[in-house]
Amino acid sequence: NEDGGWGLHIEGHSTMFCTALNYICMRILGEGPDGGQENACARARSWIRDHGGVKHIPSWGKTWLSVRF
């Protein structure tokens, strides 16, 4: 999305879960902290910080993060 986040679908508003998931996937796949098309990682990180950080992710997102990392 133009705000730097990702939604559940291509036209959806940005959500913490989708933005955090996409950011983590890009980093795992080798993108740098400011990498990705149009600085996608930096924009996602800013969106996450501006919306309170990953502590505001839904419980199922916290479970995914705790299992994976």
pLDDT tens-digit series, residues 10-65:
999 999 999 999 998 898 899 999 998 999 999 999 999 999 998 888 888 888 78
User: Is the CB of residue 54 less than 8 Å from the CB of residue 20?
Assistant: yes
For residue 49, tell me if it sits in a domain.
yes
Q: What is the pTM of this model?
A: 0.84
6 domain residue, yes or no = no
Which residue type sits at 59? S
Residue 8 lies in a domain: no
Residue 53 in domain: yes
- Which pLDDT value is given to residue 24? 87
**pLDDT at position 68:** 57
Say whether pLDDT at 5 is over 60.
yes
Within a domain: residue 44? yes
Q: Is residue 24 part of a domain?
A: yes
Whether 10 is covered by a domain: the verdict is no
Q: Note whether residue 26 is domain-resident.
A: yes
Measured CA to CA in angstroms, residue 44 lies from 8, 23, 27, 33, 59 at distances of 15, 6, 11, 10, 20
Assess whether pLDDT exceeds 60 at residue 69: no
Residue 64's domain spans which residues? 16-68
